[in-house]
Amino acid sequence: MAAPVDYLLHLADNALILGQRNAEWCGHGPVLEEDLSMANNSLDLIGQARLLYQYVAQIQGSDATEDTLAYFRGVPDFKNFTLLELPHHGPLAATASGDRDYATTITRNFLYSAFMLLVWEALQLSEDSTLAAIAAKSLKEVKYHFRHSRDWMVRFGDGTDESHARAQAALDHLMPYTEEFWVVAAYEAAASTNRTGVDPQTLRDDWLSLLDAAIAESSLKRPAVAATQRFQW
């Protein structure tokens, strides 16, 4: 049984867009080790996207390829979360070199990798055997993404006054966009119904637990946010 194509594209688009965004740090990392870490993060994400696009192309047949799906679809056809396409800056960007604020990048990676840690774990049990295999591979990668971003969240939050302020500002700026995680699209509902996918709403409590543990350790505060809807471009 194959998962709904739009569900697969949603997963692929998320990985592609964030992979491209994180790749913008290549050659601009705050230290060499972080330059390499972010490049590896990008390669992992784009690799996940490739596997998913290749699978969709296999399902669709005809002239579909991973390249046509990644590069030749209209902008409104992309199904990625808005959070993942935001630039690398927030309220404190004016003080960041080259309009990049590493706290914003780290915070976004933390919020998303915590979510995907739960998604990929659940998708290992997908009735779609191909998606289950992709999930098993991706889970190993996202565990590192989560650990890396969490460690830096704690360093920022429990570090200097400036690093704490940057991390808190990034969290305040980005948290509202995570409400989109819980807006269940038709293809997510269909995937959940036929057991090829997962209902994201069932993951919310566990996601909040992951967030709150890291936020408490970093001396930050989780902002209260109002629900938002999926952006349509």
Q: What is the pLDDT of residue 192?
A: 97
Q: Are 111 and 175 in contact (CB under 8 A)?
A: yes
Q: What is the pLDDT of residue 232?
A: 42
Alpha carbons 196 and 127: distance in angstroms, whole number: 5
What is the DSSP secondary structure assignment for residue 83, as one 8-state letter?
G
Alpha carbons 104 and 91: distance in angstroms, whole number: 9
Q: What is the pLDDT of residue 91?
A: 57
Pick from 140, 152, 150: nearest CA to 214:
150
Collect the ranges in the chain with pLDDT lower than 50.
93-97, 229-233
Alpha carbons 7 and 3: distance in angstroms, whole number: 7
Query: To which residue do tokens 């199904």 refer?
Result: 79
Write down all domains in the chain, each with its CATH number in brackets.
5-217 (1.20.1260.10)
Q: What is the pLDDT of residue 96?
A: 46
Q: What is the pLDDT of residue 28?
A: 77
